[in-house]
Amino acid sequence: MKQAKLSDLRRNLSSMLNAVNNDHEPLIVTRRRGKPVVMMSLEDFQAMDRPAPRFATSPSMDRLINSFAEVDEIAFLPHALEDSKKSQ
C-alpha cells in the first residue's frame, strides 16, 4: 500500500487524489504527531459499505453447506508419513 507524509500530500494534493481514484489503491497518510489515516476513493469506500450478496436461498449455497456437513462426517485416520529416501 502506498504511503505519503502529510507535508507531501499538501504539496501534491491534486495528483495524489487523482492517483487514489484512478489506481483504486488506498493511500496511508502519515503525520509527525498523530495517528496515520487512510485515503481511499469514494467508489471503493461505497463498495465496502454494500451488504454482501445473499446466497442463503440459492441452490449453490445449499450445495456448499451440504458439502461442509459431509466433510465434517468423514473420519480421518492419522498415519505416519513415509520417509522419502526409503521410497526411492
7-49 residue pLDDT tens: 999 999 999 999 999 999 999 999 999 999 999 999 988 887 7
Return the higher-pLDDT residue of 76 and 21: 21
The pLDDT assigned to 6 comes to 94
**Domain extents in the chain:** 1-73
Q: 11: which 3 cell numbers?
A: 504539496
A 10 A CB-CB count for 20 gives: 19
54-70 pLDDT per residue, tens: 655 667 667 777 776 76
Q: Is the pTM of this model over 0.75?
A: no
Contact 41, 20 (CB under 8 A): yes
Query: Where does 1-73 sit in CATH, by number?
Result: 3.40.1620.10
Which letter does DSSP use for residue 56 in this model? T
Q: How far apart are CA 37 and CA 20, in angstroms?
A: 14
Please tell me the predicted confidence (pLDDT) of residue 21. 94
